[in-house]
A and B are shown apart, each in its own frame.
Chain A
C-alpha cells in the first residue's frame, strides 16, 4: 500500500532555515500536503502542492517537489520559536489522505 516517510526529529536555531523532508510511494498522487500540529491541537493545513508543480512559495514557506524521486520538502525561512510543532506530510490517494509519522521540529533560542 501507499507509504509516506519522514524523519522524526529536527532541531534548528532560531533565525535559521528549517528543511523537513518527506518521501512517498504512490506515483499517482495528485496533491501533496504539509500540516502543522501544536501540542493538544488538531492539524492545521499549511500548504499543498499539485503534482505537476515543482515549487510553491508562501511567505516563509517553500515547498519543493521532486516527482521523479517522490521527494517532498518544506523549507521554513527565519524559523521562530512559534514554529516549534510536529509537521506532517500527506499525499492524496483517491478519497483518502495518507499521512507520514510527523517530524517534531524544535527551535532552540
Chain B
C-alpha cells in the first residue's frame, strides 16, 4: 500500500503570512493526488486534485493554490493567509480503487 508523508504536523501562522505545506507519496507511481481541508468537527472539503505533473484542478475558489512539481510531490500554498484558512489539511493519494491519507497538518492562523 501507499505511504503519504505530510509536514509540518502543526503550524501557527499570522494573518497575511505565506503558507507552504508539502506532501510526498511512497509506494506508487503516477497517483492522483488530493488536498482536503477539514474544519473542526466537520467533514472533508476537497480543495485541489491532480492527475499528473503540472495538472491541477481547483474545486473551491479561494486564496490557496496547489502545485505538483514531481510525480509524487504535492504542495499547497498561499501568498497571504486569512483567519478562515485555519483547519486540518489532509493530503491523499489514489493509485487504483483505494484512496490513502497522510497524517494531516493542523494550521492555526492567528
Which residues of A are in contact with B by a Cβ distance under 8 Å? Answer: 31, 33, 35, 40-45, 48, 50, 88, 90, 92, 95-97, 99-102
A92 to B90, CA, bound (A): 18
**Which one, B13-21, B43-51, B61-69, B76-84, is touching chain A?**
B43-51
A88 to B99, CA, bound (A): 13
Main secondary structure of the interface of A (DSSP, over half): strand
A residues in contact with B4, CB < 8 Å: 42
Q: How far is the CB of A26 from chain B (nearest CB, A)?
A: 15
Q: Determine whether the beta carbon of A43 is less than 8 Å from that of B43.
A: no
Q: Determine whether the beta carbon of A42 is less than 8 Å from that of B90.
A: yes
Would you call B87 an interface residue if the criterion is a C-beta within 8 Å of the partner chain's C-beta atoms? no
Q: Determine whether the beta carbon of A42 is less than 8 Å from that of B102.
A: yes
A41 to B102, CA, bound (A): 8
Q: Determine whether the beta carbon of B98 is less than 8 Å from that of A101.
A: no
Q: Determine whether the beta carbon of B43 is less than 8 Å from that of A100.
A: yes
A40 to B46, CA, bound (A): 19
A residues in contact with B34, CB < 8 Å: 97
Would you call B100 an interface residue if the criterion is a C-beta within 8 Å of the partner chain's C-beta atoms? yes
Q: How far is the CB of B101 from chain A (nearest CB, A)?
A: 4
The listed residue (A95, A97, A99) touching B51 by CB distance below 8 A is A95
Given contacts A43-B90, A88-B44, A97-B34, 8 further A-B contacts (CB under 8 A): A31-B97, A42-B102, A42-B103, A42-B104, A45-B98, A48-B97, A97-B92, A99-B43
A88 to B104, CA, bound (A): 16
Q: Determine whether the beta carbon of A41 is less than 8 Å from that of B104.
A: yes
Q: Determine whether the beta carbon of B44 is less than 8 Å from that of A95.
A: no
